[in-house]
């Protein structure tokens, strides 16, 4: 049993080290180690209980009777110190958000029950209309879900709209798995939220994914009023690959190449929220420290041609290259421990936005956060989605003030 405790302690210490200093290369190692760092970093309280309880059981069974067990306890203590550091990181998240968005006039209490359950269950007062068809490609339907408060169809006035685009490296994922915390938070605040599916690679080749997202926006513009939403005010957002697609959709309104057959439809949006996104397919500044992103994921699966032969297409697929002075307001979230989407690329994207766009661009860099930090309730994600709501509410309030006519103000 002493050797079991040693192996357990060393395993915990290794997991804690990976969460604090995630490997960036080679690409295979970065991808394989990401779930370890992600779970430890986002669920430090749960992991603390698990590791402490397991260690106590092993000690009670005689695990500390000889030197291997003692070494195991030392390694476990180091692992618990790493968990403490993640709790410190989570505790400063609200302060980091307030530095960017300003002091919060109505801080949200921690939902301890949701934190304990981990899974993002939909609140009872929120209705989900599932699997609404927004387009049909080659005989196959593309679907979306609409979330809103009960009775939103019959309430006074139309509600602002938030559209979430899921991530998954352009190859996996669906509308039911991601963004639930964000759409639940905004729907509870009176928004009408939409979560969309789109075609995935390797069957789909870029820009199929983006064209589908724009088809969803066209459907929303035409039909969301039937569900209580205001088609005049839409904020789009997403995580990872979804942040890439949402950012591109926000920056390329009216570009015929991305709106085949519906180029005359106004798909402009009033804001964009990007969680841990990818913003530069060309990657001329070498933010990615390994070749797997370009040589495998993009060249063989998503774009299906290498950068050397399709540099113009790669540039058009890069949100950072599509920024203009007319870009809508952005809120960009990124973790400084992200091993899948480098934080340096997010910084470059934000720097370019701020230098070019006339609209606001808020950027919150989260200490200790890995990729996909808002998928389930955690001390960090609760603060993050509340910050997203504050940003969206501020945009809508400013839009309402600008939309008032002299008669409205009397």
Catalytic residue numbers read 240, 338, 371
User: What's the rounded Cα separation, in Å, for the pair 363 and 350?
Assistant: 7
Percent helix, strand and coil across the chain, each to the nearest 5: 50, 15, 35
For 223, counting Cβ atoms within 10 Å of its Cβ (0-12 exposed, 13-18 middle, 19+ buried), the class is: middle
Task: Calculate the CA 233 to chain-centre distance.
Answer: 21
Neighbouring-strand partners of residue 137:
140
User: What's the rounded Cα separation, in Å, for the pair 389 and 23?
Assistant: 33
User: What's the rounded Cα separation, in Å, for the pair 405 and 144?
Assistant: 34
Task: Calculate the CA 61 to chain-centre distance.
Answer: 43
Q: 179 and 193 in contact (C-beta within 8 Å)?
A: no
Place of tokens 């995630």: 22
Place of tokens 């998928």: 375
Neighbours of 192 (CB within 10 A): 27
Q: Are strands 126-137 and 271-275 parallel, antiparallel or unpaired?
A: unpaired
Cα torsion angle, 328, 334, 339, 345, sign: positive
For 173, counting Cβ atoms within 10 Å of its Cβ (0-12 exposed, 13-18 middle, 19+ buried), the class is: buried
Could you tell me the two tokens for 235? 């904020």
């Amino acid at each position: 049993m002493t050797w079991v405790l040693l192996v357990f302690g060393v395993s915990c210490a290794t997991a804690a080290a990976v969460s604090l200093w995630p490997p960036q290369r080679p690409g295979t190692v970065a991808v394989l180690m990401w779930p370890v760092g992600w779970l430890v970093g986002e669920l430090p309280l749960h992991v603390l209980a698990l590791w402490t309880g397991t260690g106590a059981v092993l000690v009670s069974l005689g695990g500390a009777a000889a030197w291997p067990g003692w070494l195991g306890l030392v390694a476990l203590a180091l692992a618990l110190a790493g968990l403490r550091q993640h709790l410190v990181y989570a505790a400063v998240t609200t302060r980091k958000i307030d530095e960017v968005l300003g002091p919060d006039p109505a801080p949200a209490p921690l939902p301890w029950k949701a934190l304990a359950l981990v899974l993002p269950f939909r609140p009872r007062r929120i209705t989900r209309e599932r699997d609404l068809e927004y387009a049909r490609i080659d005989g196959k339907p593309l679907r979306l879900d609409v979330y809103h408060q009960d009775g939103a169809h019959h309430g006074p006035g139309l509600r602002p709209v938030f559209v979430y685009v899921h991530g998954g490296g352009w190859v996996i994922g669906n509308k039911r798995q991601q963004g639930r915390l964000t759409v639940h938070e905004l729907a509870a605040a009176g928004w009408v939220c939409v979560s969309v599916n789109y075609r995935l690679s390797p069957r789909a080749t870029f820009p199929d994914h983006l064209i589908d997202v724009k088809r969803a926006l066209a459907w929303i513009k035409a039909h969301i009023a039937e569900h209580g939403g205001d088609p005049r005010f839409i904020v789009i957002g997403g995580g990872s690959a979804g942040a890439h697609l949402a950012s591109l959709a926000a920056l390329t309104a009216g570009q015929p190449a991305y709106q085949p057959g519906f180029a005359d439809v106004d798909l402009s949006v009033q804001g964009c929220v990007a969680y841990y996104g990818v913003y530069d397919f060309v990657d001329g500044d070498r933010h990615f420290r390994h070749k797997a992103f370009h040589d495998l994921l993009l060249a063989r699966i998503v774009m299906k041609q290498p950068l050397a032969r399709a540099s113009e297409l790669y540039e058009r697929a890069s949100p950072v290259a599509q920024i203009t002075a007319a870009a809508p307001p952005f809120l960009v979230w990124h973790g400084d421990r992200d091993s899948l989407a480098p934080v340096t690329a997010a910084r470059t994207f934000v720097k370019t936005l701020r230098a070019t766009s006339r609209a606001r661009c808020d950027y919150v860099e989260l200490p200790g956060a890995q990729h996909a930090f808002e998928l389930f309730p955690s001390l960090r994600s609760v603060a993050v989605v509340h910050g997203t709501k504050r940003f969206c509410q501020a945009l809508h309030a400013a839009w309402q003030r600008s939309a008032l006519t002299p008669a409205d103000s009397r």
